[in-house]
A and B are shown apart, each in its own frame.
Chain A
Amino acid sequence: MNRFEYLEVTTLEMAGKLAAEKGAAVRAGGVDVQDLLKEHLIEPASVVSIRNVPNLQEIKAGENISIGPRVTLAQLAADRAVASKARAIAISAGEAASPQIRNQATCAGNLLQRPRCWYFRNEELLCARKGGPECLAHDGENQYHAIFGNKNCAIVHPSNLAPALIAFDATVKTVKVGGARREISVAALFVTPETDIHKEHVLEPGEMMESIEVPAAALAGGAKSAFAVVREKQTYDWPLLCAAVKLTMDGKNIKDARIVLGAVCPVPLRRENAEKLLIGKSLDESAARVAATAAFDGATPLAQNGYKVPMGIAMLMRAILEAGGLS
Chain B
Amino acid sequence: MTKKNYDREETLKLGFAGNVVEKKVKLADDQAKPWDLDTKFQYAGKHIPRFDGLAKASGRAKYSYDMNFPGMLHARIVRANIPNGKITDIDVSGAEAIPGVKATMLLKKVGDRVRFDGEGVAAVCATNLEIAEDAMRAVVVTYEKMAHAVIVDDASKDGAPIVDKGDTNKSPESVNINPREVSEDEINKRFAAADAKVEATYRTQVQTHSALETHGGVAKWDKDSSGNPTLTVWASTQGSFSVLDGLCGNLKLDRSQVEVICEYMGGGFGAKFGADQPTLVAANLAKKAGAPVKCMLNRKEEHLAGGNRPDSIHHVRAGATDGKIVVFDVTNYGTGGYTGGAGARNIMIYDMGASRKVEYAVKTNCGPATAMRAPGHPQGSFVLEQVVDELAEKLNMDPIEFRLKNDRYPMRKAQYEKAMELIDWSRRNKKGGEGALAGTGPKKRGLGVGASTWGQNGNRDGTAMAVIINADGGVEVRNGCQDIGTGTRTIIGICAAEALGCPLENMKVRLGHTRDPYGPASGGSVTAPTVTAAAKDAGHAAKLAFLDKISKKLSVDAAKLDISLGKVFVKDDPAKSWNWHDACKLLGVETVEVTKERSDNFRANFSGQVGGVQIAEVEVDTETGVVRVIKVVAVHDAGLVIDRLTFESQILGGVIQGMSFALFENRVMDRKSGKMLNNNLESYKIPGSLDMPEIVTVAFDISNGHNSAGVAGLGEPTVIPTAGAIANAIANATGVRVRSLPMTPDKVLAALAAKGGSR
**CB-based contact A2/B668 at 8 Å:** no
**Is A119 interfacial (CB-CB < 8 Å)?**
yes
| Secondary structure class of chain B's binding surface, majority of residues | loop
By beta carbon, the residue of chain B nearest A311 is: B624
**Is A235 interfacial (CB-CB < 8 Å)?**
yes
**Is A204 interfacial (CB-CB < 8 Å)?**
no
**CB-based contact A140/B663 at 8 Å:** no
Name the contact of B623 in the complex, choosing from A125, A304, A311 (C-beta under 8 A).
Answer: A311
CB 8 Å contact bits of A292-327 with B (1 = contact, 0 = none): 000000000000110100110011000000000000
Name the contact of A230 in the complex, choosing from B683, B687, B688, B745 (C-beta under 8 A).
Answer: B745
How far does the alpha carbon of A2 sit from the alpha carbon of B134 in the complex, in Å?
Answer: 7
**CB-based contact A1/B130 at 8 Å:** yes
**Is A5 interfacial (CB-CB < 8 Å)?**
no
* Residues of chain A within 8 A of B746, CB atoms compared: 143, 304-305, 307, 311
**CB-based contact A315/B690 at 8 Å:** no
**CB-based contact A311/B625 at 8 Å:** yes
CB 8 Å contact bits of A196-238 with B (1 = contact, 0 = none): 0000000000000000000000000000000000111111111
Report if A234-B690 is in contact (Cβ < 8 Å); known contacts: A140-B670, A311-B749. yes
Q: Which of B374-382, B671-679, B705-713, B716-724 makes up part of the contact surface? A: B671-679
| Secondary structure class of chain A's binding surface, majority of residues | loop
Report if A236-B745 is in contact (Cβ < 8 Å); known contacts: A2-B134, A125-B673, A230-B626. no
Q: How far is the CB of B192 from chain A (nearest CB, A)?
A: 38
B73-87 at interface with A (beta carbon < 8 Å):
81
**CB-based contact A136/B691 at 8 Å:** no
Q: How far is the CB of A183 from chain B (nearest CB, A)?
A: 34
How far does the alpha carbon of A40 sit from the alpha carbon of B133 in the complex, in Å?
Answer: 11
**CB-based contact A232/B685 at 8 Å:** yes
How far does the alpha carbon of A264 sit from the alpha carbon of B239 in the complex, in Å?
Answer: 47
Report if A233-B745 is in contact (Cβ < 8 Å); known contacts: A118-B678, A141-B677, A307-B750. no
How far does the alpha carbon of A87 sit from the alpha carbon of B141 in the complex, in Å?
Answer: 54
* Residues of chain B within 8 A of A25, CB atoms compared: none
Q: How far is the CB of A250 from chain B (nearest CB, A)?
A: 29
**Is B758 interfacial (CB-CB < 8 Å)?**
yes
Q: How far is the CB of B312 from chain A (nearest CB, A)?
A: 20
Q: How far is the CB of A209 from chain B (nearest CB, A)?
A: 26
Report if A232-B664 is in contact (Cβ < 8 Å); known contacts: A118-B677, A124-B675, A311-B623. yes
Report if A136-B623 is in contact (Cβ < 8 Å); known contacts: A234-B691, A235-B691, A311-B749. no
A95-154 at interface with B (beta carbon < 8 Å):
118-119, 122, 124-125, 136, 139-141, 143-144
* Residues of chain B within 8 A of A234, CB atoms compared: 628, 688, 690-691
- A230-B624, A233-B690 are known; give 20 further A-B pairs, CB within 8 A: A1-B130, A118-B683, A125-B673, A141-B669, A231-B626, A232-B663, A232-B744, A232-B745, A233-B663, A233-B688, A233-B691, A234-B691, A235-B691, A238-B683, A307-B749, A310-B623, A311-B746, A311-B749, A314-B442, A314-B624
Listed in ascending order, the chain B residues whose CB lies under 8 Å from chain A are 81, 130, 133-134, 137, 442, 621, 623-626, 628, 663-664, 668-673, 675, 677-678, 682-683, 685, 687-691, 744-746, 749-750, 753, 758
Listed in ascending order, the chain A residues whose CB lies under 8 Å from chain B are 1-3, 40, 118-119, 122, 124-125, 136, 139-141, 143-144, 230-238, 240, 304-305, 307, 310-311, 314-315
* 18 sampled A-B residue pairs with Cβ under 8 A: A1-B133, A2-B134, A119-B670, A122-B675, A139-B672, A232-B745, A233-B685, A234-B691, A236-B688, A238-B682, A307-B750, A310-B749, A310-B753, A311-B623, A311-B624, A311-B745, A311-B746, A315-B624
